[in-house]
Structure 1
């Protein structure tokens, strides 16, 4: 059902004017923001785009990139104008994440991990200084899962690198430590735990050591990201009586100074995004929704994966950027893609 949304000439002059958004309605409590950039659509039709990760260029942040999954084909890499600059047709990649500073072959590299549902493996790539990805996995890294699904990475205070992945609709998680093996990277299983039912989105906080898991029909949980963390957990928010609408999907962290910042979750069933405090008990702050922009970039709905950075990415995104998968790319109608929202619009809308 198409929705009438407010004019977006400025965030301060929001009043109804009969512009169609082309997606389901977000909740009434969600504050509207709009994207400045959208990526080229993925090559695959229907439900294909899923999860993004932001790579920050080490010397020129304006050359930073968005790495997105096409879960029918592989990985696509986009520049900050939304242009596709690399495609890796390596299998049905579902979720993707990255961490910087991994020691490999005498260099410090950014390491990208993804779940590959074609051969039930962990895919691993290094990013060079120009943003090109190359496979560095030490052979086929079997997950032992029937359907490796969600994924996130963690770098501990001790400098160890980990990957978490879950198995389809079972809610079963595994944690591997990543190890340099010459010019390649291997993975060693260090932990397993179950969340109870289907989960996908997760994010690990490198500063606080917390692991956040979205159990889709239940809510958001906080675990320890340590390999000896076991299955102890704390409820952050719920679907039944809380601020989430099933499915709870993508999870990402906006890093502020120290332990400050924000935890963001895709509330897929209400077509918007929940924001929580990063520190303390992760207090709920509010919601925002991505709506039709003055330039005609459509809003988002049915969002799976999200990512965010607080780093300045040049003149286009001087205060950071939020990236969201769009489940219905409608203006014009096209395969799914990713939307890029300048962080300051979200901060202004929610008075962060």
Structure 2
């Protein structure tokens, strides 16, 4: 028997037999060069001095020859900025103005290296390692399966400028699934110090996607089978869950989260509806649902966005999403018609 879907729009009832109407596709501005193995998660680094020279970093998952590849705004791989020979890099993020010393700051890139149970830290754009080979995570766990990091996002406190990373894992408990590490630099180098464990987990599937809203002080993560969870990013504000939302708008796995931040508390969360091959949009201020978009990608894991102007090609910002064909899609942000 065919399923019947009932939509009520402006007082009219429409019966759709057998299927849901396909959303029109918003074509990508461009598609990147293909990676060697398995694309997963992007992060956009904005070159503040020359926005047209900004870089999109994208992870390529492989246990031996994985990498974090750098792309220019034409989608071409920048070999000299890419990091290779990594053991299963999963998620990646960037931050600006990390304090190395009293007189030196640098932008940074972090990513998880799952099979070595660690996270990596590099300066951007010179791509120098700052971690002496990596920072081990989930060290207090006795089971190897609980030590394998997946998602990562950076939080920079807008008041203190302290920088920390929030890390998820392939498997974990139903409480304290996430660990947060503060990145601290001194004369001996950079350290990653554990400052808290927090975050509920349904016990279904896994938690991979994490995104931090620095300005508003929230961290969001996808509990893939049940919804988007929201907490304070600053440990001093407590570990109580603020909200769990969005589940009714997803077909199956809830994946990558990108935060399009505009002035004040305005903006949007863009979240991958993986098996539906679409993206759900929520308001940044109250997390209410806005709409669903078809951007042409298949089985999207990670995504990222910037609202800053990146030259003539992306004058109003850029949205980047992983596509399950070893590449990433670039969309001029205004093509999503969020505003």
Structure 2: tracts of 5 or more residues without a match = 1-18, 139-145
Q: What residue is the counterpart of 1:78 in the other structure?
A: 71
Which residue, 25, 29, 39 being the options, matches 1:49? 39
The answer as to 2:169 corresponding to 1:164 is no
User: 5 Å matches for 1:309-348?
Assistant: 309-327=306-324, 329=325, 336-347=326-337
Q: 1:30 to 1:275 in 2, by over 3 A?
A: farther
8 A contact 1:237–1:243 mirrored in 2: no
8 A contact 2:232–2:242 mirrored in 1: no
8 A contact 1:67–1:75 mirrored in 2: yes
Q: What residue is the counterpart of 1:92 in the other structure?
A: 88
- The separation in 2 between residues aligned to 1:35 and 1:161, in whole angstroms, is 33
* CA-CA distance at 1:230 after TM superposition: 4.3
What RMSD in Å do the two structures reach over aligned CA positions?
1.8
SS at match of 1:62: helix
| Per-residue Cα deviation, 1:109-159 (whole angstroms, up to 9, x for no partner) | 1111111113111100101xxx33121114531102521011111111221
8 A contact 1:124–1:185 mirrored in 2: no
User: 5 Å matches for 1:99-138?
Assistant: 99-105=95-101, 106-127=103-124, 131-138=125-132
8 A contact 1:27–1:270 mirrored in 2: no
Aligned length: 300
Q: What residue is the counterpart of 1:7 in the other structure?
A: none
The answer as to 2:272 corresponding to 1:266 is yes
Which is bigger in relative contact order (C-alpha 8 A, separation at least 6)?
A: 1
Q: What residue is the counterpart of 2:189 in the other structure?
A: 184
- The separation in 2 between residues aligned to 1:211 and 1:180, in whole angstroms, is 24
Q: What residue is the counterpart of 2:147 in the other structure?
A: 146
- The separation in 2 between residues aligned to 1:182 and 1:252, in whole angstroms, is 35
TM-score (normalised: structure 1): 0.81
SS at match of 1:228: helix
Q: 1:27 to 1:37 in 2, by over 3 A?
A: farther
TM-score (normalised: structure 2): 0.84
Structure 1: tracts of 5 or more residues without a match = 1-25, 291-298, 330-335
